[in-house]
Chains A and B, each alone.
Chain A
Amino acid sequence: MTYPSRLIEEAVNEISKLPGIGKKSALRLVLHLLKEDADVTHLLCRSLTDLRTNIRYCVICHNISDGEVCNICSGTHRDHSLVCVVEDIRDVMAIENTQQYNGLYHILGGAISPVQRIGPSDLNIESLCTRIQNHNEIKEIILALSTTMEGDTTAFYITKKIKEAFPHILISSIARGVPLGGELEYADEITLGRSIVTRAPYNV
């Protein structure tokens, strides 16, 4: 595509680097900003710059935080004996939205995948071990990782590390199976097969 201005071309190139945005959408956004007041663009730029320079990560769980320690880790009403290990900050949000969990989190920042050049040292695994070491109140680690091969590998690796160093810690994993409110016939075969194999006792 040729653009009438080099400035537009540069802006389009930058915006189209964002996930889910192609050249055409980027051009639409750029032209939209030009049509609006200059303030709109300035505000957008400022908030993005602020976001990038002032954002902080919780020193304990690596969640996004306004202070040194995030709201969840400093919450007195939360159960500090439970730590849920997730790959990504979005996973924390998803679990928080269920309102069913009152423990703490630990964010790895991804899953082990040598193909993508992500090794254990690129993730917050070492800091999880230090955390268990320093916080005696931790009793259980809940693994809530993706059901991909990379997620499974990471789960196995973490389990191995923790079991060796801290045999007293209970390690659990979130259950995997048929979604609630869904009819059985619509569940995919692999999930349904796994649910049958790892069936649970029925509680009345």
Chain B
Amino acid sequence: MILQQLHMLNFKTYFDCKAVFSEHINLITGHNGAGKTNLLDAIYCLSMTKSAFANSDSNLISHGKNFFSLRADFLKNDKSNVLQYDIVDGKKNISHNKISYSKITDHIGEYPVVLITPYDTDLIRDGSEERRKFFDAIIAQTDKNYLQELIMYNKVLKQRNVLLKWIAEGNSIDNDLIDTYNHELIKKSKIISAVRSKFIEQYIPFFKSCYRHICASTEIPDIQYSSQALELNFATRFKNQTQKDIATQRTSMGIHRDDFVFNLNDKPIKQFGSQGQQKTFVLSLKLAQYEYIKHHKHLKPLLLLDDIFDKLDDERVLNLLSLIAQNTFGQVFITDARPNHNATLVNKLSGNIRIFEVTKGNIKPV
């Protein structure tokens, strides 16, 4: 899959800007605040239908304007496709070859991208919710039914929690109704945890191999999926917990409590890993995401690397660059703020490289 051309109108720092990209490596240079990351975000938006950085769609529109429009030519399976994404008067519209999607979520997964940013280490440091979100997004791209189950689970969970509050407010307890929600949550927890567990089994080999490519040392990384729903007597324990749930007004068991534990040499990387090790770990997580999607969709996603060479030692940077140069990945977009650094990068990379310089609102090939 190749992004051939991109035209941005009123998108963040770009008022009217067109760029033609290399099908292999695109190096985006420019000063801080020039808009390098915004370019990657535009590509991310076209794939995932929402920004990787902005909380709200309206923040994507250039200051003082009332709409934005992104238009891209993609080459996919040897066919060219036109994707257009715009927000006009607060209304979002995405069209594929001039046909608008009736359900925007249908677009997700059609043009996969993998974005690697300096914020990725949040995956290790933040709570379990971030990790579930990360893996759920990968599974959802290859399994639409999973997304549906997950949405339903969250709806049932919300209903049960309101019911618990209701009871705490002194309304009479209808045990049959609690049983109904218990039954639904137990059933769905088992389905979802089975999918997650099967997924992680397939994902780990990709992950370990990516880690070895970046860091050849003897460090042993691992991911453990932990879920109450996989334990014996989960259903009985869930039901026995009901009285306590009523007291605390929240559901204490189920797949919304799952976690993915990241270990390095059998120790949690959150406490014991150095910054560089953590960076290597999340880099491998993301590259494994790439490999997983490539394997399941028979399609090379776009790889977006946002300022990632910070905090990695030279050896790891070299290993990553050689991975890119070997054409393991399809089309790659790399941003970097340090011009003299670029020269070294270019020397290390071979193949079809195009270098761009971003100045306020404009992208120019160098």
User: For window 159-187 of chain B, which residues contact chain A by CB distance below 8 Å?
Assistant: 159-160, 162-163, 166, 171, 174, 176-177, 179-181, 183-184
Are A189 and B144 within 8 A (Cβ)? yes
Are B181 and A119 within 8 A (Cβ)? no
Contact of A156 among B148, B160, B171, B183 (CB under 8 A): B183
Asked if A115 CB lies within 8 Å of chain B CBs, one says yes
Are A120 and B177 within 8 A (Cβ)? yes
Asked if A193 CB lies within 8 Å of chain B CBs, one says yes
Shortest Cβ distance from residue A165 to the other chain B in the assembled complex, whole angstroms: 11
Q: Which residues of B contact A152 (CB under 8 A)?
A: 184
Contact of A157 among B144, B156, B171, B177 (CB under 8 A): B177
Asked if A146 CB lies within 8 Å of chain B CBs, one says no
Query: Nearest residue in A to B166 (C-beta to C-beta)?
Result: A114
| Chain A at the B interface: SS class | helix
Q: Which residues of A contact B195 (CB under 8 A)?
A: none
Given contacts A113-B159, A120-B174, A149-B156, contact A157 B145 (CB under 8 A): no
Query: Nearest residue in A to B152 (C-beta to C-beta)?
Result: A149
Contact of A149 among B155, B166, B174 (CB under 8 A): B155
Q: Which residues of B contact A153 (CB under 8 A)?
A: 156, 159, 180-181, 184
Q: Count of A residues near B, CB < 8 Å?
A: 18
Are A160 and B176 within 8 A (Cβ)? yes
Asked if B158 CB lies within 8 Å of chain A CBs, one says yes
Provide the bound-state CA to CA distance between A68 and B163, in Å.
Answer: 35
Shortest Cβ distance from residue B96 to the other chain A in the assembled complex, whole angstroms: 17
User: For window 110-136 of chain B, which residues contact chain A by CB distance below 8 Å?
Assistant: none
Q: Which residues of A contact B159 (CB under 8 A)?
A: 113-115, 149-150, 153
Chain A positions 109 through 141: 1 when the CB is less than 8 Å from some CB of chain B, otherwise 0: 000111100011100000000000000000000
Q: Which residues of A contact B176 (CB under 8 A)?
A: 120, 157, 160-161
Q: Which residues of A contact B144 (CB under 8 A)?
A: 189-190
With A114-B162, A153-B180 already in contact, 12 other A-B pairs whose C-beta atoms are closer than 8 Å: A113-B159, A114-B159, A114-B160, A119-B166, A119-B177, A121-B174, A149-B159, A150-B159, A153-B184, A156-B180, A157-B180, A190-B145
Q: Which 9 A-B pairs have the closest CB atoms?
A: A114-B162, A114-B163, A149-B155, A157-B180, A156-B180, A115-B162, A114-B159, A160-B176, A149-B152
* Listed A/B pairs (28) with beta-carbon separation below 8 Å: A112-B177, A114-B162, A114-B163, A114-B166, A115-B158, A115-B159, A115-B162, A119-B166, A119-B174, A120-B176, A121-B174, A149-B152, A149-B159, A152-B184, A153-B156, A153-B180, A153-B181, A153-B184, A156-B180, A156-B184, A157-B177, A157-B180, A160-B176, A160-B179, A160-B180, A189-B144, A190-B144, A190-B148
